[in-house]
Structure formats: C-alpha cells, structure tokens
Amino acid sequence: MLARMSSPVPPKPTPSELELLRILWQIGPATAKQVHEAVAAERPDMTAATVLRLLQLMHGKGLLLRDESQRAHVYAPAQPQDTLQTSLVSDLIHKVFSGSGKALVLAALRGHLSAKEREEIQAILNDKKES
C-alpha cells in the first residue's frame, strides 16, 4: 500500500526532484535502486545514497507516495504528470506573466520553437477554427 505523508498541497519540486519525478512517470512505481539505475545514465554523478535521500525527502514533502509493504520501499508520484505540469504552469503564469496565459504563449513562441513545432501548433489552431 502506498503511504502519503500528510500535506494538503505538495510544494513545488526542485529541479533535482523534477528529474526524479520525470523518471518515475516514465518507468512507473520503483525502488530507490531502480530509480538510481534509470538516473545513472544521464547523471553518473548522482549516487544511490543521494537518490534514496531525495526520494525520502520528496515523500516527506508529499511529492511521492511510498509502499512500505516490502523490504525495498516502492516510490510513486503523488500526482499525475499533467496535473503537476498544469500547476507549475499556472504558478509561472501568475508569478511571471501577471496572470496572462497569452503573454506566456507569446514568450514561448519567441525563439523557443522549431519549425516543426510551429507547424504542429498552427495545425491545432486551424482545427480549433474549423470546429
């Protein structure tokens, strides 16, 4: 059974915590050893002890659920990826763009998209116009 620490709204994850969350969203619930093996390819400097400590801290903050029914605890994200992403984007829009989603989109469009990404966005906009 996955156990959650009591916290109504989890805090925003740090960059290192986001890295581990991305891994867990990709591979699913996993032990600290499995998470370390997945992260080691990209971050050979991150030790198994560091991964374990981060997972424990993230559980304490309410970012992760932990199944303690086995000897090796299994960790899983407390929120689905899209839910956390939406929350982080909403926070960014509020703090950086004075609540304007349009300003965020315009900033993202300025030099941060490939030609293929622009075409995909234009196709989505064209589909919305036709609906």
pLDDT in tens, 99-110: 998 888 888 888
At residue 70, the pLDDT reads 87
- Answer yes or no: are the C-beta atoms of 24 and 67 closer than 8 Å: no
Q: Which residues pair with 75 in a beta bridge?
A: 30, 66
Average pLDDT rounded to a whole number, residues 33-56: 95
Domain at 29, CATH number:
1.10.10.10
Residues 7 and 41 in one domain: yes
Residues 25 and 62 in one domain: yes
Determine the Cα–Cα distance for residues 94 and 30; give it in Å rounded to an integer. Answer: 34
- Is pLDDT above 90 for 127? no
Cβ neighbors of 52 (< 8 A, separation 6 or more) are 32, 36
The token duo for 55 is 């997972």
Average pLDDT rounded to a whole number, residues 103-128: 85
Token pair 């290192």: residue: 16
- pTM score, whole prediction: 0.74
Residues 45 and 86 in one domain: no
Residues 7 and 70 in one domain: yes
Percentage of the chain beyond pLDDT 70 is 91
Residues 69 and 13 in one domain: yes
Structural domain for 70, as ranges:
2-79
Which burial class, exposed, middle or buried, applies to 32 when counting CB atoms under 10 A from its CB (0-12, 13-18, 19+)? buried
Residues 57 and 105 in one domain: no
